[in-house]
Amino acid sequence: MAYTGAIQLAYNSRQYSHRTPGNEKCASCTATTSRRHHTKILKLSKLIRVVAYCRRFINNCRHSKVKQTTTLSTQDNDQALTCCVKMVQQISYTQEMKGLMEQQEVASTSPIKTLHPFIDQEGLLRVGRLQQYTLPYQAMHKMILHSNHHFIK
């Protein structure tokens, strides 16, 4: 199946469902763009909406009786952001995440060792060194992203 617009969705049965390092089942959808449309999704908000609609499309394909057709909710956008951050973290910190999933410490040579990283309930790699402060969870345990990855530039 393919959509021949600014964004083309490619369906591959091997990519449709796979397991993450935490052994949780996760759906994936590959979005490709042509060069002339590439600048249209450079902004993070647009990327999040594209991923949210891809996730909705996959959900609607799986559950043919209950289709979501309303506008995207804040929860949809939050889940899409989480999905993007997970992919970026898995690319940038593969060994660290694998070790933490196996209840091991991060290697002493890792650049994020001093941050005392941990994996939260959503599967995100977060900073763990600020535990004694009385800050909200999101402020105390920031998501860890590699500074050279184009996702944050």
Name the residue ranges covered by the structural domains of the chain.
7-152
Task: Give the mean pLDDT of 14-32.
Answer: 44
Listed in sequence order, the residues at least 6 apart from 34 whose beta carbon sits closer than 8 Å to its beta carbon are: 6, 8
Answer yes or no: is pLDDT of 15 > 50: no
Q: Does the predicted model carry a pTM greater than 0.85?
A: no
Specify whether the CB–CB gap between 124 and 111 falls below 8 A: no
Answer yes or no: is pLDDT of 36 > 60: no
For position 65, what pLDDT does the model report? Answer: 81
For position 33, what pLDDT does the model report? Answer: 45
| Secondary structure of 64-123 as H, E, C letters | CCCCCCCCCCHHHHHHHHHHHHHHHHHHHCHHHHHHHHCCCCCCCCCCCHHHCCEECCCC
For position 55, what pLDDT does the model report? Answer: 93
For position 105, what pLDDT does the model report? Answer: 86
Task: Give the mean pLDDT of 78-101.
Answer: 93
Task: Give the mean pLDDT of 103-125.
Answer: 91
Answer yes or no: is pLDDT of 81 > 80: yes
Rounded CA-CA distance 140/130 in Å is 6
For position 146, what pLDDT does the model report? Answer: 87
**pLDDT tens-digit profile of 45-78?**
888 999 999 999 998 988 878 888 889 999 999 9
**Mean of per-residue pLDDT scores for the chain:** 75
Answer yes or no: is pLDDT of 135 > 70: yes
For position 5, what pLDDT does the model report? Answer: 37
Answer yes or no: is pLDDT of 112 > 80: yes
